[in-house]
Chain A
């Protein structure tokens, strides 16, 4: 029990630090998206820049409206992750209080696993959408529609699957706890 509380505290601190940094990174990335410096800096970002060798030399050639829609598409994935993160923090706080198998923690776990699953499915689609949006203004023949399943995407699906299995385990644990509580 003590180790669970320690890990929960550690994880809560990590997530609390990471979430604002991720938010800041998102805002900066899209505010600076049209500058050449940002293009060089974020060149390794597979989703946004995977197909840019074909069409624009930098994102400065992408119309602002396309950039805006790309940012919206990217934001959806961040919103899903932040939502899961906030719920995870709530779950970790319950764990720190020693509340492991309650109806509320089970509900939180179910929500987190569903959000993570949704996110894992959305990530490959996000790459496709951003590629399409950033190349849509190109002349005919230079527009692109691509779908890629990277090792990261596969890892995300594994993580989501793991969370779904963990939810089933938590459900079993909750039922056992309930039965144990009603054993006299």
Chain B
């Protein structure tokens, strides 16, 4: 995967659990787990916005482009 989701890192820094975040962002734990484990194919702007708001971070803190994987 070229785009790496660093949700688990940010969650660890904020010391927030998956079920708490899911409740704050208003998406299911299963969907959040898909995102956290890097299985997600796409992310909606609305979800990203809600995550940034709940975790008090920037989209760049949650996503990273892996140059080596794309080559």
Contact = CB atoms under 8 A, between A and B. Distances in A.
Interface stretch (A11-19, A126-134, A157-165, A176-184): A176-184
B34 interface: yes
Contacts of B42: 179, 182-184
Chain A binding surface SS class: mixed
B57 interface: no
Contacts of A184: 27, 31-32, 34-35, 40, 42-44, 47
A154 B69 CA distance: 51
Interface in B35-71: 35, 39-44, 47
A184 B62 CA distance: 14
A137 B44 CA distance: 74
A38 to B, nearest CB: 61
Interface of B: 27, 31-32, 34-35, 39-44, 47
6 contacts: A179-B41, A182-B40, A183-B42, A184-B40, A184-B43, A184-B47
